[in-house]
Homo-oligomer: A and B are copies of this chain.
């Protein structure tokens, strides 16, 4: 009987999960809501693009959740013994980089930068860096078009170098004080293993998907390229990294200090971290042909494809990275910048609840409301890669009801999901089955049925409600290896520890037919508002509105 622990750092909270390695049974779990800011996010009322996090929340949450999960495991499984925990795996949001000193201490933990959002972790959904992102895309297109080919053709404001360059532009004192920048998926393992920044084994998942890391061009973008963006950014490259590693690699072993604080054995392995969606895909049992959708506040879509088989570059997706999900496979990432976040935004301003709206909305027929939405309230990650797109709803009459608008928003996210599947398949990546996980997939049958009806595909569900944490626990088991109570390979671990629910959502052909008509209109609006130089061009509208907004706020 051996166990591993998966630590899953989400947008608003961190979760620890203790898993029985023989069967994947989840015997203890605990959640810690980040206390800082609004639901754990430091925001700026005058700039909706800003989203930061306080790194000290991560550390407190780590200790609280592991200790509590151990207590829960003891209660639920009398056989459980913390001494039988053989490893720790970590997944986090990303790209969420933070500036640290040469000892790996976050600048925000120093008196000098206390309460300075620029010295904190720059949360994945921070969109302040859109100008820098455009500049990086422009320069890469000229100097190194290959840099962009593996990350969908456009460098995003959500990503590593955009954020660092923006910090350099708006808060040079923070940039100058930082020895280096580190993704939180690399920082947490470094903390637990006592590894200094220069020695940290950085995650290829973060490096490849968000920092243009690829062995084809020698790792990170060249110093020359980064220097053209800003000489100081070029200098920073020397203090970043030359190698990057897939999950299943050891990041080091748990320090004596942390072992004692957490009540775990000293010296157990800590796996190299990865992003939540990627390890969520592992926990959902991903393999060739399986699209794993992790549906929460936002959505990540993960596919894998054997790395020994050639695969075309796919414009608009968030990257094709060897080893980012499973060693030996290309990991393909796509996603929608907001899903549950849009549902919550809508509900918070009605005189109703998710439950009430769902109850009324589920009985509506597709097309019945006459409404159509674009699901861009937080921009569009895939396939437009444009954070300066905004939401749209059309078709309102004086009789339009909140449940109709609610359903239209759900449908819009389903249309967005279908657009991603279509893009994968247009470029030869096959989607044979769709496995869903995450809170919304678990809790809202209406949403899942709409996704099935819109896509015309069966929506399957992973058995685990915590696939990200489970994937991290699996990564820990594989890192430990068979000889130490873990597993030789991800395939073997997944075969024992992952499964699908018997419940699934099958498309209703009649509904699918109506949704095909609506999808055509969605695509028309999508292209008119989203594509520059499109023939029916309204692509200026959302941008002009934002420019006006900024000019009146400045």
Q: Which residues of A contact B (CB under 8 A)?
A: 48, 338, 341-342, 345, 349-351, 365-372, 377-378, 390-402, 514, 517-518, 521, 524-525, 528-529, 536-538, 540-542, 544-546, 548-549, 551-553
Q: How many copies, total? A: 2
Give A194 Cβ to nearest chain B Cβ, in Å: 38
Give A444 Cβ to nearest chain B Cβ, in Å: 19
Q: Is the CB of A548 within 8 A of B518?
A: yes
In the assembled complex, the Cα of A517 lies from the Cα of B545 at a distance in Å of 9
Q: Is the CB of B538 within 8 A of A528?
A: yes
Q: Is the CB of B538 within 8 A of A370?
A: no
- Apart from the given pairs A390-B396, A392-B394, 11 other A-B contacts in the complex at a CB distance below 8 Å: A367-B552, A368-B549, A370-B390, A372-B541, A372-B545, A390-B395, A518-B545, A525-B541, A528-B536, A536-B536, A538-B538
User: Chain B: which residue is nearest A553 at the CB level?
Assistant: B368
With a 10 A CB-CB cut-off, give which of A365, A396, A399, A538 has the most chain B CB atoms.
A396
- Give me 13 A-to-B residue pairs in the complex whose CB atoms sit less than 8 angstroms apart, sorted by A's number: A48-B399, A342-B398, A345-B398, A349-B401, A367-B551, A370-B545, A390-B395, A390-B396, A391-B396, A392-B392, A392-B396, A395-B542, A528-B528
User: Chain B: which residue is nearest A378 at the CB level?
Assistant: B398
Give A312 Cβ to nearest chain B Cβ, in Å: 32
In the assembled complex, the Cα of A343 lies from the Cα of B367 at a distance in Å of 25
User: Chain B: which residue is nearest A45 at the CB level?
Assistant: B399
Q: Give which listed residue, B350, B549, B551, contacts A369 with CB less than 8 A.
A: B549
In the assembled complex, the Cα of A391 lies from the Cα of B541 at a distance in Å of 16
Contacts of A548 in B (CB 8 A): 367, 370, 514, 517-518
With a 10 A CB-CB cut-off, give which of A48, A392, A398 has the most chain B CB atoms.
A398
Closest 5 CB pairs of A and B: A391-B396, A370-B549, A367-B548, A48-B399, A351-B351
Contacts of A517 in B (CB 8 A): 544, 548
Q: Is the CB of A366 within 8 A of B552?
A: yes
In the assembled complex, the Cα of A545 lies from the Cα of B342 at a distance in Å of 22
In the assembled complex, the Cα of A367 lies from the Cα of B393 at a distance in Å of 19
In the assembled complex, the Cα of A369 lies from the Cα of B391 at a distance in Å of 13
In the assembled complex, the Cα of A517 lies from the Cα of B546 at a distance in Å of 12
User: Chain B: which residue is nearest A351 at the CB level?
Assistant: B351
In the assembled complex, the Cα of A378 lies from the Cα of B397 at a distance in Å of 6
Given contacts A378-B397, A514-B552, A552-B366, contact A521 B544 (CB under 8 A): yes
In the assembled complex, the Cα of A542 lies from the Cα of B392 at a distance in Å of 13
In the assembled complex, the Cα of A536 lies from the Cα of B540 at a distance in Å of 12
